[in-house]
A and B are shown apart, each in its own frame.
Chain A
Amino acid sequence: MFYTKQTLKHFRNPHNYGEIKNPDGEGEAGNIICGDLMNLYLKVKKTKNGVEIIDAVKFKTYGCAAAIATSSVITDLVKGKTVDQALKIGKKDIIDTLNGLPPIKIHCSILAIDALGEAIYQYLFKNNRPIPLSLQKTHERIEIGKKEIKERYAKWLSISKK
C-alpha cells in the first residue's frame, strides 16, 4: 500500500485547513473511534448575477494521510462552485485528482464527501431551503451512524474528549 506523489503532496501541505468563524454551513463526518474525523466549514456568497457560490471553505481532519489529502482536495474542488455543482462531486473526482488511492483507502474519499454533504445540508436547513432527497438520505445515514457509535462507545468517547 503506497500513496501517489499527489496524495503525499496534499497530505504534507494541505490546502484550506483551519476553521471558519460563524460559517454558513458546518459538517462533521467520521469518528475518533474508527480513526478518522473530519469537520468542514463553508461560507456562501451571492455573486453580482445573483448566483450563490461557495466562497470560502476550510477543514479540520484527524486521520491518516489519505483522510487529510482527500480533505484538502475536496476543499479545492468546492471553492467557487454553486451548491448544486458541489453536491455533484463524487469520490471519483477526488481519487482522480490524487492520481489514485490504495483500494483500502477509498473510504477516506467518502469521508470528505460526507462532511461536505453535511455542511451543505446544514446550510440549506438553516435557510429553510428545499433539501434534495439524496442529500436528506445521506444525512439520515450519517446521523444513524453517529448515534450507533455514541451508544456503543460511550465510555471511549467521554475519554476522548479531553
Chain B
Amino acid sequence: MVKKVYLDYAATTPVDPRVIKAMMPYFAKKYGNTMSLHVFGREASQAIENSRKIVADYINAKPEEIYFTSSATESNNLALKGVAFANRQRKKHLIVSRVEHDCVLESSRWLRNQGFEVDYLSVDKHGLVDVNKLKKLIKKETLLVSVIHGNNEVGTIQDIANIGKLCQKKGVYFHTDVAQSLGKVKINVSTMNIDLLTASSHKIYGPKGAACLYVRNGVIIEPIIHGGGHERGLRSSTSNVAAIAGFAKAVEILKDKGDKENKRITYLRDYLIEKILKKIQDTQLNGDKFKRLSNNINISFFGVEGESLLLELDHYGIAVSTGSACSSKTLEPSHVLLALGLSPAEAHGSLRISLGRWTTKTDIEYFINILVKSVKKLRKISPAYVLH
C-alpha cells in the first residue's frame, strides 16, 4: 500500500477524535430540534447555547454576538449581503481586498450587479494590504470593509488591528474572514475593532457543516435566509446541533493546546521551506516570510506546471494543492497569486503545502524526497525549463 501523507490542511482538516466523541450524543440520543419546547428540544438548545459561549469567549465576543451558520462561505455571504441590503438607503459603497476567498469576491461582484459600488484593495508583493491605500479608498458612502485575516493560499497575515482601528475612526463596518487563522493567531474582536467575523469548524479539526458569523451588537444587518427564525432571526434553518457541538469542542482544544501546537508546526514549516529552497533550484517562496500562517507554505517551481506536480505527488500518496490554472474550473491561475504580482508562469508552477496536527517530521522527510524527484522528472520533459 502507498504511504499517505496529507499536506492539505488548509483545504480541510480531519476531525479530531475528541471532537467526534463530543458530537456523538447529538445524533441518536439528544436529537431534538432546538425550536421544540419539550425536553429533547431543550437539550439541543442547551448544547447550542453552550457552544455559542465557548466560541464567543475564544474571540472575546459576547455569546449573543455569535450566529451559527453552515460554512464560512455562508457566513461571508451573510456578512456582505446582509449588511449591504440592511443599509442600502444610507450607504452603498464596499471595499474588499483583492486576495479574498472566492466567496467574498463573488458576493461583492453580485452586489455590484445589484447596484452597489465596490472597490478592490490591492496588496503588495507579499500579499499585505496597505492601510494608507485603504484610507484613500474610504469615502462618505463607504459602508463596509472586508479583509481576510490569514490568506488561504499564500498564508499572509494582515494587520487587522490596524485596519479595524482605521475603520472605527471612519465609522465604517469592518469584516474579516479568519477561517484560516483561527487558532493560529490570537483574535480579540474588541481590541482589534472587528465588527463582523467569519470562522469555520472544518479548518480547526471540527466537522464540516458548521461555522459562525460574529456580529457586534449594534451592527445593522438583515438575514439572507428567511424562515423559522433560528439564530435570533438572522439565520433560519434547523440547527445542525452535532456539528455545532463539534465546532465548539474543536475551539476548546485550540484554547487548550493551540500555542504548543503552533510552535511545533511553525518549526516544521520553516524546516520544510528551508529544505525545499535549498534542495531544488529555481524555486521561490510566495507570500510573506514572517507574517505567515504557522502551517502555510506556498512555493513556485519554475518550468513545472502545478497540476502535473500535484498528480505526480498524488501517485506517492502525498496530498497538496496548487494555484495553477489547469487545476481550476475556470482555467485561470489563482487570483491571489496574480494579485501579488506573480507572472502567470510562476502562478502555474505554484504548490500550496499546508501542515497540521498530525504532520510529523517523518512525513516531511518523505515529502521532500518525493518532491525533489518529481520536480526533476517533470522538468526533464518540460520545454520551459533549461537545465543550467
Contact = CB atoms under 8 A, between A and B. Distances in A.
Interface of A: 1, 3, 8, 11-12, 14, 17-18, 28, 32-39, 59-68, 104, 153, 155-156, 159-160, 162
Contacts of B386: 162
A32 B311 contact: no
B311 A37 contact: no
B326 interface: yes
B333 A39 contact: no
A60 B344 contact: no
B383 A8 contact: no
B373 interface: no
A62 B344 contact: no
A32 B345 contact: yes
B315 A12 contact: yes
B329 A104 contact: yes
A37 B381 CA distance: 11
Contact of A61 (B325, B348, B383): B383
Interface string B307-320: 11001100100000
B324 interface: yes
Contact of B382 (A1, A60, A153, A156): A60
Interface stretch (B43-51, B171-179, B298-306): B298-306
A11 B343 contact: no
Contacts of B307: 64-65
A160 B346 CA distance: 8
B344 A156 contact: yes
Nearest to A7: B311
B387 to A, nearest CB: 11
Interface residues of B, number: 28
A162 B388 CA distance: 10
Contacts of A64: 305, 307-308, 324, 326-327
23 contacts: A11-B308, A12-B315, A18-B381, A28-B383, A32-B345, A34-B325, A35-B324, A35-B325, A35-B326, A36-B326, A38-B383, A60-B382, A61-B382, A63-B305, A63-B326, A64-B307, A64-B327, A65-B308, A67-B308, A156-B345, A159-B343, A160-B345, A162-B303
A35 B111 CA distance: 32
Contacts of B382: 60-62
Nearest to B312: A12
A32 B308 contact: no
A97 B179 CA distance: 43
A32 B327 contact: no
Contacts of A62: 303-305, 382-385
Interface of B: 282, 302-305, 307-308, 311-312, 315, 324-327, 329, 331, 333, 343-345, 348, 380-386
A22 B331 CA distance: 35
The winner among A63, A68, A155, A162 for most chain B CB atoms within 10 A is: A63
Given A12-B315, A35-B333, A162-B386, A63 B345 contact: no
Contacts of A3: 311
Which applies to chain B's interface (DSSP): helix, strand, loop or mixed? loop
A34 B328 CA distance: 13
A9 to B, nearest CB: 11
A153 B344 contact: yes
Contacts of A156: 343-345
Q: Which 5 A-B pairs have the closest CB atoms?
A: A64-B326, A62-B384, A60-B383, A64-B307, A62-B382
B345 A33 contact: yes
A104 B331 contact: yes
B143 to A, nearest CB: 36
B372 to A, nearest CB: 17
Contacts of B308: 11, 63-65, 67-68
Nearest to B382: A62
Nearest to A71: B381
A86 to B, nearest CB: 21
B332 to A, nearest CB: 10
A39 B312 CA distance: 21
A112 to B, nearest CB: 14
Contacts of A65: 307-308, 311
A36 B305 CA distance: 8
Nearest to B282: A162
A75 to B, nearest CB: 12
Nearest to B310: A65
Nearest to A72: B381
A8 B311 contact: yes
B311 A11 contact: yes
Contact of A60 (B304, B326, B343, B381): B381
Contacts of A34: 325, 344
B359 to A, nearest CB: 26
A162 B385 CA distance: 8
